[in-house]
Structure 1
Amino acid sequence: MTSDRILELFEQIDRTPVGIEERALINEAIALAVEAGDEPLEYRARMRLTSSACMSGDTEAMLTSFAWCLGKHDDDPERFPADLGDETADLMWQFKWMADSLAASPAFDREQISAVLDDMENHYRAAGLGQSGVLMARFENAWMAGRLDEAEQLRTKLETTPRDSHSHCEACVRSVVAGYLIDTDREDEAIRLVEELVEGDFSCGEEPEHALARSLVPYLHAGEYDKARLAHLRSYRLAKDNADNLAIVADNIVFCAITGNEARALSLVERHLDWLAHDALGVDGHLSALTAFAIALEAVSAAGHADTIVRGADSDRLRAFFGDHDGPWRAAELAAVMRTEAERIAGEFDRRDGTDGHRRRLDRAWAVGQERYSLPLSAEPLLPRVAPVAARSAEELVQRAIDLGDYGASEALAAADAALPGATLEQRAKLHSARIAALVARDDLEAAQAALQDRLDALRAAGRDAEARVEERAGLALFGRGTPDDLETLRALLADGESVPPRLHAIVEVVLGMAVAESDPETARGLFDDARDRDAALGDDDLRRIVTLARASFQGAVGAFDECDATITAALEDPTLGAGARARLLGLRARMRGGQERFLDGVADADELCRILVELDARSVLPGAYVLAAALNEDAGAPGEAVARYRFAERAATENGDSVTAVQYRLARALLASGSADEAAELLVNVYSDETDREEPAASRAQTLMLLARAFEDAGEPGRAVGAWDFAAELFDEGEAPVGRANALLSHGRLLHRFGEFDDALASLETAVAIARTEPDQGGLLAEARHSEGQVRAARGEQEALTALDEAREIASGLGAPWLAADITDSRARALAMLGQADEAVATALQAADGFAEVGDAGSAGASELFAARVLTQHERAADAVPLYRSVMERAAEIPPLLQVAAGELGDVYEALGRPAEAAEVRSLLDA
């Protein structure tokens, strides 16, 4: 039955997040109800549509749907009740959105807005509802229209009006009032309201992100830079996926622009430009966005990049805002157009409202846009868009094509085509060779065959008939096609040695050697060595380049690293070596040095590789080169340097139109390692969303969630970290990856333990232990899981804690992991203390200290001894604690924080023992 299907759709709608899928379900339910002529069911469906449209920023659909529902309710309240009673929709609650929506567009006049507010008040009174919600709606309307005296009176009245079930939520009230206070020069009061909102954990559809966005500039004015930074990162992360949050994103863009983060501001402008076309009636959002975008692009221009291209600005969807334009928009010219459009919109609002409210707020925004603060959010540089290399001569065009071909960049084909018209006969043969190799690499063999004919013609025209005859016989075999017949052809050519010109003989050896390198390395080595000898005899620069590239690649592939290094080093000293060959050799050596753990040497090579590729405008391979440089920096323990290079890689991949998900994952990992957990979390949310959209395997998405959970924890958001680890465990289970699930549950349990959620923590850890026991090669995981389980059981006062810790220590010792064994021993000492076994706790803590000392960890050794001293002191054995405190201080000579703690506590112990002189002597260290 149709009604059954509609009810089924309602269930799906109510558990589907707001978005395209949810909207499709609502539309289906409405269509079915209309077709069946069932108005009560259509009413219930349209009530859901009103809410969905509000949350997604579809103002037109929201107004139309609400008007239809209100009309039905007014005509027959029994059949069409205001409250559906199932927590899905309430007509009187939805009334609060209407006046705001009309006020958001100058297309609606003051009389229409006043009529809606009056209608709302009448309906509330008729329904027996309080006036708090009505007053809030009137206050917000008066403020936004610029009637500040009226707004202040309404705010005062609102504060003394009792709240009820239809009052605006606590989060919204605080946020809106904070915005009003900022607008009326009371920023300190506004900050207090925002902090109350955050600390009270108040939230709703667009809070706390809106309140945090409003607080950004006031925080800067107050000198609270750390709070401003955290507010920005959290606000933007929460707002960035919903186009209805355009005004929130706008505030964040202004913040980036005035804090010296022009690159991030430009990136956010480009990411959200298209949101302007999302809601035709959300004109106040357009005004906020255009103002913010203009401020950001003016900052970019002031930073010396007025001509940088703003990607996406020439979209057909945005023509209504910016007008027609010849070619891509550049920062300075687009900023001017945006400023003009913002001025026009503000004027329309003020004419409608009969005030100067929007003019005043716009002037305030322009003034803020001129402010400057030094608050770097990241190492992201503001770079000019990569422009094509402007070759100055035919010779340069030819050389670039050859270089791109040597490196293997996909641009080689187009570069060769571009260079051909001005090339000499000798150069034409080289260019056709580059074209053939590029076409074979693309598996376009038909085009490659045609290009081969062009090369043969060029060779004959240059008087190289003998070479042309051999290449005609070889066909595409000489260009890496690599079929069995091609290999036989190459062998046959070598067998006819006297008929093959010496240079071509060497090239045939190179090509055949590359083809058999994996299956017959010894034969390949002989071929390469012979080609090298022929190259040395001929003194041909081009041949030497070809032979060197092949030999170095082969030596690296078979692990002959010393030979490979020597080959590359000698080649790089050759001043005739082209840029493409040089770049390829540098990339090979960088990877090789990474494998040898010579990371910084590898970084130097990779950075030079990137420089060359930028000069060649080899965009297709540039992201990979930057990733190589970044990865080597990560391996070298320099995550901050890695971050900068990953940003280059992300930018290059974006400009290529390539997927940036993998690069963003790596960038987030480096950010997390360098202490930028908030930004890492923001990126990882994007990565996870992209992976979900692409339906990546569950276990792969779970790995992303694991890193995201770590970022949340480091960013001070433990609740979200717990949720991420929990969901990661589910995804690992779905992906049949038990070890991943156990690791997720281990982290989940540890964090729950930290916050005193012992029962839930134990449940996760017990499952992790059970999984680890089924995996024979996961001894380390089992030790860690039993270790954490023992800690939780100790906190619960369970004797079983010692059994768990003893097993964990035994496993760690068996694995040859002395530090882990010492750490578990330290946990055992603390467990014994919790269980009331003080003497054993002290002895075990000293055993842990010895274990840490044996592996050179003086800090952990000192911490174990400090714990033992504290246990003795707590059990009235202060005199026995003195030598332990002294030992801690000796270990902590180079660890100031530990030294300070130990000295302070020992001073108190001496004081308690009646030894004031010694107390004073020790305490003097506190001032050192």
Structure 2
Amino acid sequence: MPTAPQTTDELYQALQENDRRPYGRPRTVTAEELVDAAEQFAEPVPLVDALFELHEAYTYGSEPRKSPVVFARLLTLFDEQPDVFDERRRHTLFWRFKWVAGALRELPEIPLASLRQWLKEMRDRYEKAGLGLQPYYGEAFQLAVHVGEDTTLAYELWAGRPRTRLSDCEACEIGELALHHLAAGDDERALGAWEPVLAGKESCQEEPARSASYALLPLLRTGRIDRARELHLAGYRGCRRNPSMSREVGRHLEFCALTGNEARGLELLAENRSLFDEVDSPLDLFDFLTGVEVLLQRVDHLGHGELPAAGYAGRTWTVAALRAEVRGRADDLAARFDARNGTTAHTGRRRARLDRAPLLESLELTLRTRGLDDVTPAVPVAAPAARTAAVVPESLPELIGRARELDEQGHPDAQACWARLRTLVAARDYAHPDDPAVGPLVQLSADLLTDEATRAGEKDDFATAAALHEEAAGLYEDAGVPGDAAIARACALFAAAEILAQGEGVDGTEVKVAALTDAHASVVRLHEETSGLAPYQEARLLRLRATALGMRLQTSGSEEHVAPVFAEVDLLHAFATRHDLVGQISGALLLRAGTYALSGDLPAAVTGIDGLLGRLKEHGPAWHLPRALGLRGRLQIGLQDAQAAHADLTESLRLAADWPAGVVDAARLHGDLAEACMHLGRPDEALRHLTRSAELDLRGGSRTDAFCTYSNAAQLCLDLGRVEDCIALLDSLLAEPDVTAGELDDRLVAQLRLTRARALHAGEDLKAATAEFVSLAAESAGWDDDPGSHAMIAAETAVLLGESGEFGRAREVVDQALAAHARAPRYEQLSNCLRELARLQAQQHGSDGLADALAHLAEAGRIADEARADGYRARGRSLDTALAYEHGRVNAYAGECDAALAALEKALTLLGDPGQEEDHAGEWAECVRLAGAVEGIYMERPAPALNRLDAAVSRLTALGHTEEAEPLASLANRLRDGG
């Protein structure tokens, strides 16, 4: 807190601001400071309110040792100055007796006799105040459950009594009833009791998140798997990183461990690492640690004990080491509680959780499905999936010869040979064969550098690729193999051109075209100047020449660049045919089809690919089949034959699985399949392919591409209404190390956060959505190069603040949006924002909010004028029409019926005839309906209102808009019935 409040008004403002903060140390520290500030005032009421805030912060910040101390001060103040406590404060005080009872249970150092004495104090106080005892019996029941006593009588004394004003909320009591049935082994009865809470009909601060965590395993045991998945996603979000809900976090970790989602469990554990140190409640910590141990035990049993795990701060943990540490601490806590309670209840409950067997072998919890192998650092070269693994010769001379032979063919199995050779050469005792057929060590070193350069190029690391190819070329020259040196140098030239082609700027296209033209000319010269080339070497140079010109055509799109590509492709094809180089023949035909596609002749491209596929099936090479099918699939998308595209791309992916990773760009195939699925109206399938594409890019090191694809997937997920899936996906991405370390592009991260904020809003988590939007608005204010995005974010933020009733803050953010809009106009977004704020102001405050609402609409009017002058056209109805309609709504909310009806008449004039379009007809019908309601109900003029409505119904019906006419007919019938 920068400065202590100097007045009680400042104190209450600070208390209000602190109430908006999440529970945890920052909120608690501020609450402590506000108590100190309140003690300076002569009035006792501010101190009472500050103590209530501190007591709440300790309770929900999981600091039970401090909670009773603060409550004791409040109780003393009540005894000494009861008049200070009005009805609301008195109610709060007696309500919180229960909080103290809960806090004392959580501390094993508090004797059991003291817990019972506090319950007696609570009972005496309630009886003296004339309050019902059901809340007291509720605490007595919970103590019996905690201790492990027979709860039959305690349950009946509590559950059999009628509720009072001080009873726990309906949601919490339902949770306790369900847990009672669960402890008795009756899953069905427990889930039946829980239903109102799990369905959202009853809720409170901790519900339904608390009950959801306990319902997960009963749902699985009773076969309600989809419901369990749904509640895991929504429930976890309600308790993540919250010290007072660490028990619930532990239950979600346990759920992951028992459903084959150990990798997600480790991810969630990392996200909640702070709980190891922030949870001060021994009972909460005991439950949390037991859930953690269930997860770590499962991972360890699966043979992954050496995986990294997030644990206590100050050291690096493996799963096995953290499991041992957690086990020791949890065993100690169980023993302390059992010693205090005189039972073995906590040890028994802990053992029951640890002894549970997995309930499902596999359950897809999130869109980002990952296994424990994905947690392990990626292996550079993946083994073939379906085809028999490459046979790597044992003899070193044979291995070197086999690697070079496969490399000449472009065969994927060369990867395994080079990987084995790299390991052997790196060993201290490596002895190079003295064999003329093998050549000197310097030649093998050049081979390995070339393979490494190729891998770097596949990851778009062209600077590394160019340097490695140049180094390899020098070694090849030293080894006396000029043909290989020429190829390496040509590859270096090509990689250097790729670096220039990646550049950006005003003349970016010209620079790229020039770079590729120069690269082609250089490779031609190198080709002509190098003698004694073997056929496979000459074919590679010809392939590079044709590829350079193909990329130039792709960059420029110029018709003049088409013929040179075909000329080079013809040279390659003729040469490869003459020397029977099947891989290069296929490569030439792929290049030819691609050139037809780039020139706009898609049918010719498909014909070429069809011919190539026939040849590949007969002559090979087989590893070119998935690539050719992938190209045909993309061409079919271009020809708008999504069904054929889907078939080709699916088959391409199936065949790609037979070869090592990297032979085919599987990430692109999944991306193309997603596009085909969208054309076919199968968005859920598209979503699966998008997430698969992104994860493959992520594992392959193309992180920016991966996050962009994941961003698209998240937006599609949100569009499909899968809100919790969207949030879970984005939470997982935003927890990635390079994101948390600030290494990923900040605008891309902002886009992910923006989508998450919108998803939170769609999921009706207004508080979390508003907090995220406010944070994004503050950050984007510094985007001097992109004021338009700030205007858009600030506009959305203002609307959410308005929905929360914080119109003062909303006004401040709107001013930021307007300032950014002046630099980069966002007419529609700002107009929408101002109109919505006007509606919210009038809706929430009626006539008292009319002046501010009309001020917002006046600004929206100025924006509409600017848009009209600038020739801007809105995507839907015009800004003027939308503004007129909003004037109607706002005035109607404020009771200004004449002004409302006049505005709606204007809106109808601007809308014109309803026409054939459904969207336009719907807007027209809604405008008529509101005008009819204002005139017929609020102005009590049913006759003209009925004339308006009947005419509109007839017009809509004649145009075939029967659905749009129904609300108008319903309102007309209501008016006729006198309602």
Q: TM-score normalized by structure 2?
A: 0.64
Equivalent residue runs for 1:880-919 within 5 Å: none
Aligned counterpart, 2:268: 271
Match of 1:530 among 567, 592, 596: 567
Check the 8 A contact 1:214/1:251 in 2, yes or no. yes
Which amino acid letter does the alignment assign opposite residue 597 of structure 1? Q
Q: Which residue of 2 aligns with 1:509?
A: 545
2:874 match: 778
- For the pair 1:179 / 2:179, whether they are aligned, the reply is yes
Q: 1:43 offset after TM fit, Å? A: 12
**How far apart in 1 are the matches of 2:231 and 2:632?**
44
Amino acid at match of 2:673: A
How much does 1:597 deviate? 3.4
1:454 to 2:472 alignment? yes
1:73–1:100 Cα change, 3 Å:
closer
Matched, 1:574 2:608: no
2:641 to 593, 598, 620: 598
Partner of 1:847: 955
Instruction: Confirm or deny: 8 A CA contact 1:208 1:235 kept in the other structure.
Output: yes
Of residues 784, 797, 800 in structure 2, which corresponds to 1:727?
800
Conserved? CA contact 2:403–2:418, under 8 Å: no
Q: Distance in 2 between matches of 1:509 and 1:16?
A: 67
Partner residue of 2:453? 436
Pairing partner for 1:644 from 670, 683, 688: 688
| Matched pairs, number | 839
The offset of 1:641, in angstroms, is 1.3
- Corresponding position of 2:143: 141
Give me the whole-angstrom Cα distance separating, in 2, the residues matched to 1:867 and 1:173: 44
Query: Hey, what's the Cα distance between the residues in 1 that align with 2:24 and 2:291?
Result: 31
Q: Encode CA deviations 1:381-411: one digit per residue, 9 max, x unaligned.
A: 786746853464348995999799999xx99
For 1:89 and 1:685, locate their aligned partners in 2 and report how far apart those are by CA, in whole Å: 39
The 8 Å contact of residues 246 and 288 in structure 2, kept in 1 or not, is answered as yes
| Aligned-residue offset at 1:146 | 1.3
Q: Secondary structure at the match of 2:876?
A: helix
**Partners of 1:404 and 1:412 within 8 A in 2:** no
Paired amino acid for 1:740: Q
Unaligned residue ranges in structure 1 (runs of 5+): 853-859, 877-928
Is the 2:493–2:519 Cα contact (8 Å) retained in structure 1?
A: no
Change (3 A) 1:568 1:496: same
| TM superposition shift of 1:702 | 5.3
* CA RMSD, 1 decimal: 6.8
Q: Deviations over 1:442-488 (max 9, x none)?
A: 66747743542324534774x64256368659963576356678955
**Equivalent residue, structure 2, for 1:55:** 60
Alpha-carbon distance in 2 for matches of 1:2, 1:847: 64
| Match in the other structure for 2:807 | none
TM superposition shift of 1:353: 2.0
Cα distance change of structure 1 residues 738 and 786 upon mapping to structure 2, 3 Å threshold: closer
What is the alpha-carbon distance in structure 2 between the residues aligned to residue 632 and residue 750 of structure 1? 41
Aligned to 1:902: none
User: Is the partner of 1:644 in helix, strand or coil?
Assistant: helix
Which whole-Å deviations, capped at 9, do the CAs of 1:501-545 have from their partners, x for residues lacking one?
654662463354256433484554333222212212221445446
Indicate if the aligned counterparts of 2:257 and 2:265 stay in contact, CA closer than 8 A.
no
- 2:471 is the alignment partner of 1:468: no
Distance 1:241 1:84 in 2: 36
Distance 2:731 2:848 in 1: 29
Deviation string, structure 1 residues 605-657 (Cα, Å, up to 9, x no partner): 54455553795345997666544433432342112212333453566577679
Report what 1:740 is aligned to. 829
- TM-superposition CA deviations, 1:99-127 (whole Å, max 9, x none): 53454465665456557667878999999
Counterpart contact for 2:888–2:901, Cα < 8 Å: no
Distance in 2, matches of 1:469 and 1:263, equals 52
- CA distance in 2 between partners of 1:603 and 1:753 (Å): 51
- Corresponding residue of 1:244: 244
Residue number among 334, 351, 354 corresponding to 2:342 in the alignment: 354
Does the C-alpha gap of structure 1 residues 664 and 268 become closer, same or farther in structure 2, counting only changes over 3 Å? farther
What is the one-letter code of the residue matched to 1:533? D
Amino acid of the residue matched to residue 271 of structure 1? L
- AA aligned to 1:141 is L
Measured in 2, the distance between the counterparts of 1:471 and 1:365 equals 61
SS at match of 2:320: coil
> What does 1:153-192 align with in structure 2 at a 5 Å threshold?
155-156=157-158, 159=161, 163=165, 171-180=171-180, 182-184=182-184
Instruction: List aligned pairs for 1:293-372, cutoff 5 A.
Output: 307=302, 314-315=309-310, 317=312, 325=320, 349-358=337-346, 361=349
Q: Are the equivalent residues in 1 in contact too, given 2:101–2:119 (CA < 8 A)?
A: yes
**Would the aligned equivalents of 2:523 and 2:545 in 1 still touch at CA under 8 Å?**
no
Query: 549, 561, 574: which is aligned to 2:602?
Result: 561
Could you say which residue in structure 1 is the equivalent of 2:529?
Answer: 499
**Conserved in 1, the CA contact under 8 Å of 2:197 and 2:208?**
yes
Q: What SS does structure 1 have at the residue aligned with 2:312?
A: helix
Deviation at 1:864, TM superposition (A): 4.3
Q: Displacement, 1:238?
A: 2.1
SS in 2 for 1:206: coil
Q: Return the TM-score normalized by structure 1.
A: 0.67
Q: Hey, what's the Cα distance between the residues in 1 that align with 2:161 and 2:350?
A: 29
Counterpart-to-counterpart distance in 2, 1:585 and 1:366: 52
Question: Quick one: structure 1 residues 232 and 792, their matched pair in 2 at CA, closer, same or farther if it must change by over 3 Å?
Answer: farther
User: Structure 1 residues 790, 323: closer, same or farther in 2, change over 3 A?
Assistant: closer
Structure 1: distance between partners of 2:99 and 2:971 = 60
> What letter corresponds to residue 818 of structure 1 in structure 2?
E
What does 1:856-867 align with in structure 2 at a 5 Å threshold? 860-861=961-962, 864=965
Give unpaired runs (5+ residues) of structure 2: 384-388, 394-398, 427-431, 501-513, 532-537, 774-794, 803-809, 937-942
Conserved in 2, the CA contact under 8 Å of 1:832 and 1:838?
no
Counterpart AA for 1:513: L
- 1:646 to 1:96, Cα distance in 2 relative to 1, 3 A: farther
- Structure 2 distance, partners of 1:93, 1:189, is 29
Could you tell me whether the CA contact under 8 Å between 2:929 and 2:949 is conserved in 1? yes
Instruction: From 909, 918, 928, give the equivalent of 1:819.
Output: 918
| More divergent stretch after superposition (788-797 vs 529-538) | 788-797
1:630 aligns with 2:630: no
Contact kept, 8 Å, 1:131 with 1:161, in 2: the verdict is: no
Are the counterparts in 1 of residues 253 and 269 from structure 2 also a CA contact under 8 Å?
A: no
- Cα distance, 1:18–1:866 mapped onto 2, change above 3 Å: closer
Distance 2:950 2:305 in 1: 66
Q: Which amino acid aligns with 1:510?
A: A
Change over 3 Å in CA distance of 1:438–1:337 after alignment to 2: same
2: distance between equivalents of 1:554 and 1:824?
48
* Equivalent-residue separation in structure 1 for 2:78 and 2:903 (angstroms): 67
Cα contact 1:6–1:33 (8 A) shared by 2: no
How far did 1:778 drift? 0.5
Paired with 2:269 and 2:47, the residues of 1 have a C-alpha distance of 35
Q: Residue 293 of structure 2 contacts residue 354 of structure 2 at CA under 8 Å; is this kept in 1? A: no
Measured at CA, do residues 566 and 139 of structure 1 come closer, stay the same or move farther in structure 2, by a change above 3 Å?
A: same
Cα distance change, pair 291–468 in 1 and its aligned pair in 2 (3 A): closer
* Native 8 Å contact 1:290 1:342 kept in 2: yes
Q: Among the aligned pairs, what percent are the same residue?
A: 18
Change (3 A) 1:724 1:571: farther
Evaluate the alpha carbon distance shift between residue 845 and residue 270 of structure 1 in structure 2; reply closer, same or farther with a 3 A threshold. Answer: same
C-alpha separation between the residues in 2 aligned to 1:754 and 1:75?
41
Give the distance between the partners of 1:820 and 1:292, measured in 2 at CA.
52
Cα deviations across residues 183-222 of structure 1 (Å, max 9, x unaligned)?
3568788668756668997654423322444456677889
CA–CA separation in structure 1 for the residues paired with 2:160 and 2:143: 14
SS in 2 for 1:535: helix
